[in-house]
Structure 1
Amino acid sequence: MSSQYQELCSKLTIRSFDPVGDLDDFMVWASDERVPIFCSWDAFKSKEEAIEYINQKLITHPYFKVICLNNRAIGAILLNFNQGNDRCRCEVGYVLGSQYWGKGIATWAVKTLVSTTFEERPELERIEAFVDVENVGSMKVLEKVGFAREGVLRKYFIIKGRVRDFVLFSFLRTDLP
């Protein structure tokens, strides 16, 4: 690990989203057309549109956090926990401002979240990620963290009006170092 990367990581945190204080930073990456290409949402065209989405989807989400550089929100990471017989697994998702792509930040965030999630949630045995087959960057992130590529789910999800194939990745509690 280079000293530059270590220095960058020392400035990174994951924390709760502040809908008022983080709004301007949120708009920087959430209004960038390149960022949500593989997401179910579209880039926001106005603060009002973003506030409506935040109020409807993010404030009520049980585990939506922001990835921060020097305490400024540059992206987000979330977990969707399952219930009942599926409570042994959850799904991770993440998004990062395009100016921060390729710097190891998403890898740091996923790795950090994986270790803390298994510590905090003893019932969990598995963290899953579903990645569009064309999202090579996200697949690289998961592979660097140690996720196993399990297979392709054909015609699995509709994104931007198109039925898409997704790659299923998993990280098991037993995969921890």
Structure 2
Amino acid sequence: MKNSSTPLITLRPFRLTDVDDFYLWASDDRVISPLRWTTVTSKDEAFNFIRDKCIPHRWRRSICLDDRSIGFVSVYQWSGDERCKADIGYAVATEQWGKGIASSAVKMAVNQVFDDMPELLRVQGYVDVLNTASQRVLEKAGFQKEGTLRKYTYLKGQIKDFHLYSFLSTDCSS
């Protein structure tokens, strides 16, 4: 049972009515800097992003506190012979950092996504080696660190080393 003073964390599809809440966190460079996304600069841009990118996405969910959007979690399934795996991405508003919300949301997401995509065997997360908070999110959500990918990707003007984490369908709790 939910404590009346504890906000309820849920995942749900984005809605166009999320625009004001979305804009609050998606316009924050601290939230967006680790992502491939660019920082949202207006409410019109936020609206268009929700309409064109979030709503049509197969598995992008708004992380909500009491039904207000405070972040996102997305799962990108690979295609063809590689459709048994998917990549995960996530972010939460800076005001929610350090509260366990991202870890809870990621854990909820992996449990849901294996039900929604039964062909999936593996969800993997890539984290900048310098982003220890995001590494902790995945570890708390039950992901296993598999190794370091040196000079792995070009992100926002820099070549970066990334840690690779995985969560297997057999890791899900009953």
Tell me if both proteins adopt one fold, taking TM over 0.5 as the criterion: yes
What is the aligned-residue identity percentage? Answer: 44
Q: Is the 8 A contact 2:14 2:50 kept in 1?
A: no
Instruction: Output the CA distance in 2 between the equivalents of 1:115 and 1:57.
Output: 23
Instruction: Output the CA distance in 1 between the equivalents of 2:117 and 2:36.
Output: 27
Instruction: Give yes or no for the alignment of 1:132 onto 2:133.
Output: no
Instruction: Give yes or no for the alignment of 1:102 onto 2:86.
Output: no
Instruction: Output the CA distance in 2 between the equivalents of 1:7 and 1:172.
Output: 34
1:24 counterpart SS class = helix
Q: Is the 8 A contact 2:10 2:67 kept in 1?
A: yes
Listed as ranges, the gaps of 5+ residues in structure 1 are none
Q: Of residues 141, 145, 149 in structure 2, which corresponds to 1:149?
A: 145
- Look up the match of 2:12: 15
Q: CA deviation at 1:99?
A: 0.2
Query: Cα RMSD over matched residues?
Result: 1.9
Instruction: Output the CA distance in 2 between the equivalents of 1:39 and 1:134.
Output: 14
The letter for the 2-side match of 1:59 is I
Instruction: Give yes or no for the alignment of 1:74 onto 2:70.
Output: yes
Instruction: Output the CA distance in 2 between the equivalents of 1:134 and 1:147.
Output: 18
- Look up the match of 1:174: 170
Q: Of residues 61, 79, 83 in structure 2, which corresponds to 1:83?
A: 79
Q: Of residues 114, 117, 131 in structure 2, which corresponds to 1:118?
A: 114
Runs of 4+ in 1 over 3 A off after TM superposition: 51-56
- Look up the match of 1:29: 25
1:157/1:57 CA distance change after superposition, 3 Å:
farther
Q: CA deviation at 1:92?
A: 1.0
2:36 counterpart SS class = coil
What does the per-residue CA deviation read over 1:75-101, in whole Å, with 9 as the maximum and x for residues that have no partner?
001110112111111111101000000
The letter for the 1-side match of 2:132 is V
Structure 2-normalised TM-score?
A: 0.90
Instruction: Output the CA distance in 2 between the equivalents of 1:7 and 1:139.
Output: 29
Of 115-124 and 99-108, more deviation after overlay is shown by 115-124
